[in-house]
Structure formats: C-alpha cells, structure tokens
C-alpha cells in the first residue's frame, strides 16, 4: 500500500512539473494569447472597413503553429470564404524560391557570385549603358565600367531598366517587350541583353527582371528547363504541391479572386480572365520573378525551411552557410540610390530577400527584428523569417494597388507590439 501511495505521489509531482513546464514554454513564446487576439482584431478590422475582401495569416514560432486565422472572402461576390486551402497568386514572392533554386547550383560549385553573367550567357557580353539623350532625342550610350555579375542579378544592381519614363530607353524596352508571356527564357534573355543598361552595374538598386534572368541562368547552367529544375530541387522535396505556374481546372475553385481598391472602403473585383490570365493558361515563359500560385501551408513550408537553415521534413534544400549568405545584406554603402527599397524599413538586400539591418527609427517605420529577411508580392502578400525569435509568418490577400492601406505595418505591429524607442546606454 505504501509503494502504491509513493507511486501515485510521484505521478502527481511529475504531472505538475510537466504542466508547469508547458506553461513556461507557452509564456516564453512571443505570439501568445494576447498577441493572437491583437492579430485577429487587426486583420478583421480591414475586412469590416471594406478595404479587404478577405485575408488569411499563418505564423509559426519555434517549430510550433502559434497563429492561424482567415477573415472575409476569397470571392466576395460568390460568398466563398477565405480559407487555409485558398490558392493565391504570390507574384514577387516567387523570387525567393528562384533564388533558392539558383543557390543549389552555387553549392555545387557551378558558379561564383562575382562571375560575370556573360561567362555563362554571352547574351550579356559587352553591355552598353544609357547616358541620356542628345538634343535631337537620340539615345546616348557608353561602355559598361565592368560586366554585370551574378551577384548583381541576385541583389537588383544589374542596371536592367524597368520604368516607362526614361527618355529614349523606355521606348526600347517597350519595343523589345522582354516580359511577353509568349516567349521562353532564352528569347527573354536575348531581348534583355539587347536593351542598354539604365545605369552602371553595381551602382544603384533598381527592381526589374533580374530574377527572371536568374531563372534563365539556372536553365542555362543546369541544362534542363527552369520549371523542371525548381520542381525537382525545391518544390517536390518540400511537398509544395500547390506552388506552381499553371492551375488545373480541378483546382480553380480554390483560387482567390483579385480586388482593386478604388477608394476608402471601396473594392471592385477584377475579372478572373484578366487577374488569373497567367495561371489559367500555359505559356512559354516560366519567369523567376513572378508567376507562382501557392497556399498558406505551402509557402509556410518554404519559410520554415529557411528558418531551419535549409532543411525541412527530412529534405535538405540548402546548407546553413548558404542560407546565411542569402540573408546577409549584399548592398555596399556606396549604393545610395535605392528606389523604393527604404520604404520597407531600415533594410539592405541579400540574395532575393530584403534584410533588416537596424531597428525601426520611428513608429512610422515598419516594425521588425534586426536580422529578419522577407519579401512581398504585388497583390499585397507578405512573408518574413525572423531567426532571432524563430518566427515565420505568411500573410495572404489579393489586393491592388500594392498595400495602400498599411496592412503590412499594422500586421507586424500586431505581432511584435507597437514601436518602442531603443534605450541607449
């Protein structure tokens, strides 16, 4: 009887300790019950105000799911709820996946970051650089100071033009039309190589077709179509089955509609034939910079692979040192012209990610942790990886124009709390 009592007492003590440890673990997580309520309130308010039709978010912390919820509609007109399984167009959130595919070849020693792009792609040899126009409106050109490197195309310093307002040069860009869906990556690269650079390589940060060129480079070096390479080296090993260019008829009912905000609380649905055009037809172009669809869980798998330093679910995609390299700022201080990149916060740029290099300077700046890396998409989607807190977050909407409503800032404030000035010693 005494032994039975001691055994029962031991079980009671053990259970009490387990419960206490469990509570301590919960208490140490940044995303706790209070934060979850704050996120719910923030996201639901955007739907209630009429500024979003639907929104969903998923957060993992220390390998645990700590938040999921969805509000509103994937298709408001047909009353289809936003759901965990909703397929969205991720636009530029395609880019980090392409960068990952490229860096698997880097790990195999197939190239170095400072190799000239022309070493593998003569289409980019002897590039000319725009130098304005003369008095007759004719374009002036100078030689490039140095070749475009692979590092340039991973950090958007190659000089590829991407604007409609550059006198003389924008007309050439429009005429060459390197973004046409009707051409393959080889034809795309040839066209880009025939367009003068807007600025000397390595001197400015300017968003453009650099990551499409990365997809071409993967294809050129690997000797297989880019679509096949990214499938076999990234998507299949991670079981990202809903991350793809073409969505078959059987899955289209899960695709979110896209909405255009026309005023405060005013949204209009874009026709699916227009909004989904790239993904409901099969095109020759398989761009690296946009084009994938995905689901919350699919993209979260990709993000978790990154926070786990290249491995997930028994599949190693990249080595830890490669993830470290990709998430390290690659922009020197000499690159002072950075287009709209500073609007993302106090960030530099790594290999296909923005990288936070300093805390927010004010409450107006987007919140975040030094060392986090992230990117977003044209339809106002967002993801980030916070290695310090071991947090990965994915936010899905389908809203144009891009985040006029400060959704990203308010979402991050909900996760991390309002801005607190750093205390200097």
- H or E stretch covering 413: helix 407-416
Do residues 71 and 90 both lie within one domain? yes
Q: Judge whether 312 and 238 are in contact, CB under 8 Å.
A: yes
- E strand or H helix that includes residue 74: strand 64-75
Residue 22 lies in a domain: no
Determine if residue 197 is left, alpha or beta; phi over 0 gives left, psi from -120 to 50 gives alpha, anything else beta.
beta
Is the domain of 177 the same as that of 291? no
Q: Calculate the alpha carbon distances from 376 to 108, 179, 215, 335 in Å.
A: 29, 20, 19, 22
Same domain, 124 and 265: no
- The reply to whether 18 falls in a domain is no
Greatest distance between any 2 Cα atoms in the chain: 106
Q: Are residues 126 and 202 in the same domain?
A: yes
Q: Where are the alpha helices (DSSP H) in 244-401?
A: 272-275, 296-307, 320-326
> Residue 235 carries which DSSP code?
I
pLDDT of residue 418: 85
Residues 113 and 166 in one domain: yes
Instruction: Answer whether residue 398 is part of any domain.
Output: yes
Residue 382 located in a structural domain: yes
Q: Are residues 157 and 298 in the same domain?
A: no
Q: In the listed set 222, 249, 265, which residue is the last one of a domain according to the structure?
A: 222
Domain match, 217 and 275 both? no
The token pair that represents 305 in the structure block = 């692979």
Cα-to-chain-centroid distance, residue 90: 8
One domain for residues 48 and 186 = no
Cα(32)–Cα(67) distance, integer angstroms: 9
Report the CATH number at residue 75: 3.40.710.10
Give residue 157's domain range: 103-222
Half-sphere exposure of 260 (CA within 13 A, CB side): 8
- pLDDT < 50 positions in the chain: 1-2, 4-26, 424-425
Q: Are residues 90 and 146 in the same domain?
A: no
Residue of 380, 358, 362, 382 lying closest to 370 (CA atoms): 358
Asked if residue 1 is part of any domain, the answer here is no
- Angular region, 63: left φ>0, alpha ψ -120 to 50, beta rest: left
Same domain? For 73 and 141 the reply is no
Q: Are strands 259-263 and 399-400 parallel, antiparallel or unpaired?
A: parallel
Give domain status of residue 57, yes or no.
Answer: yes
Domain stop point among 163, 194, 222 = 222
Cα(304)–Cα(150) distance, rounded to whole angstroms?
Answer: 26
Tokens of 84: 């965990």
The pLDDT, as a whole number, for residue 10 is 45
Residue identified by tokens 């009490």 is 16
User: Minimal CA–CA distance to 398: which of 375, 374, 381?
Assistant: 381
Nearest partner of 258 among 57, 84, 68, 86, judged by Cα: 86
Parallel/antiparallel/unpaired status of strands 382-386 and 88-89: unpaired
Domain boundary among 162, 196, 222: 222
Residues 108 and 80 in one domain: no
* Residue 369 covered by a domain: yes
Name residue 73's beta-bridge partners: 81
Q: What is the dihedral of CA 199, 349, 36, 417, to 10 degrees?
A: -90
Map tokens 């645990």 to a residue: 64
Q: With a threshold of 0.95, does the pTM exceed it?
A: no
Task: Judge whether 257 lies within some domain.
Answer: yes
For residues 71 and 119, state if they share a domain: no
Measured in Å, how far apart are the chain's first and last C-alpha atoms?
62
E runs forming strands in 76-150: 80-81, 88-89, 128-133, 139-143
Q: Which two tokens stand for residue 261?
A: 């905000």
How many domains does the chain fold into? 2
Q: Token digits for 295?
A: 């689901």
């Amino acid at each position: 009887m005494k032994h039975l009592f001691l055994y029962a007492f031991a079980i009671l003590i053990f259970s009490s300790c387990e419960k206490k440890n469990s509570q301590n673990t919960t208490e140490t997580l940044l995303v706790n019950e209070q934060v979850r309520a704050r996120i719910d309130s923030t996201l639901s308010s955007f739907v209630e105000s009429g500024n979003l039709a639907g929104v969903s978010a998923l957060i993992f912390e220390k390998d645990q799911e700590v938040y999921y919820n969805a509000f509103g509609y994937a298709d408001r007109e047909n009353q289809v709820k936003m759901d965990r399984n909703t397929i969205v167009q991720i636009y530029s959130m395609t880019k980090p996946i392409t960068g990952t595919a490229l860096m698997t070849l880097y790990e195999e020693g197939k190239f170095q970051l400072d190799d000239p792009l022309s070493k593998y792609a003569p289409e980019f040899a002897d590039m000319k650089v725009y130098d304005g126009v003369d008095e007759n409106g004719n374009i002036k050109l100078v030689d490039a100071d140095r070749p475009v490197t692979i590092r340039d195309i991973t950090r958007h310093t190659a000089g590829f033009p991407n604007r409609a307002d550059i006198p003389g040069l924008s007309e050439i860009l429009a005429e060459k039309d390197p973004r046409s869906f009707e051409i393959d990556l080889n034809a795309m690269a040839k066209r880009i190589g025939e367009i003068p650079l807007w600025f000397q390589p390595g001197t400015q940060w300017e968003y453009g077709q650099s990551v499409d060129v990365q997809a071409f480079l993967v294809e050129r070096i690997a000797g297989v179509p880019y679509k096949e390479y990214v499938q076999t080296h990234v998507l299949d090993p991670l079981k990202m089955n809903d991350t793809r260019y073409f969505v078959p008829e059987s899955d289209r009912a899960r695709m979110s509609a896209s909405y255009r905000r026309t005023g405060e609380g005013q949204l209009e649905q874009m026709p699916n034939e227009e909004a989904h055009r790239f993904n409901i037809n099969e095109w020759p172009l398989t761009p690296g910079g946009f084009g994938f669809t995905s689901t919350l869980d699919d993209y979260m798998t990709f993000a978790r692979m990154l926070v786990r330093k290249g491995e997930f679910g028994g599949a190693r995609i990249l080595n830890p040192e490669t993830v470290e390299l990709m998430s390290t700022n690659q922009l020197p201080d000499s690159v002072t012209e950075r287009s709209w990149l500073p609007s993302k916060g106090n960030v530099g740029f790594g290999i296909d990610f923005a990288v936070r290099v300093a805390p927010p300077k004010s409450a107006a700046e987007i919140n975040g942790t030094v060392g986090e890396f992230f990117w977003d998409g044209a339809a106002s989607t967002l993801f980030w990886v916070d290695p310090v807190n071991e947090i990965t977050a994915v936010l899905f909407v389908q809203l144009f124009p891009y985040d006029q409503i400060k959704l990203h800032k308010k979402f991050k404030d909900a996760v991390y709390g309002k801005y607190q000035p750093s205390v200097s010693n």
